[in-house]
Amino acid sequence: MSKRGRRFIADERGVTLLELVLSLAVTGLLLPVFAAWMTAMIAQWQQVSERIEVRQTNAVLLHRIGAEVREGSSFLPQRNGLVFLNKAGRLIRYQLSSGGLLLRDEEGVGATVIGSHLAECRFSTDQEGRVLTVHLGAISQSWVGRGNR
């Protein structure tokens, strides 16, 4: 062989068995730490996602209720619910069931589930019965209805 070929063989580098075992041991120690960190981050992301989803759902429910309440009258808050007359004079009842379902019951039509997984739903009015406040979890919204005319 030429000098050039021998130099290449003499310059050959590799990994010894000791280096390989040490690198595997260090990787074996760091991998569970990384996995635990990733598991914690995923769990936190899921919690935040669920809270955001609940807030968005509650905002949609408040918007839907508000559109009907603005035209309503004769508000009568009840335990976990509200009864009032809509624009057409029909009796409307919103009620939170024990299973966390928000039901909308319209006289002559029947009950419809409009929300689920709700822990809290409260309705309150001012003394004149014109301003209605709805509390869905951590979100509250007030509307002025037509009152008790």
In this prediction, residue 7 carries a pLDDT of 55
In this prediction, residue 62 carries a pLDDT of 86
pTM over 0.75: no
In this prediction, residue 26 carries a pLDDT of 95
Which helix or strand (DSSP H or E) is residue 9 part of?
helix 3-10
- pLDDT beneath 70, residues of the chain: 1-12, 129-130, 138-140, 143-149
DSSP helix/strand/coil, 118: coil
Mean pLDDT for the chain?
Answer: 83
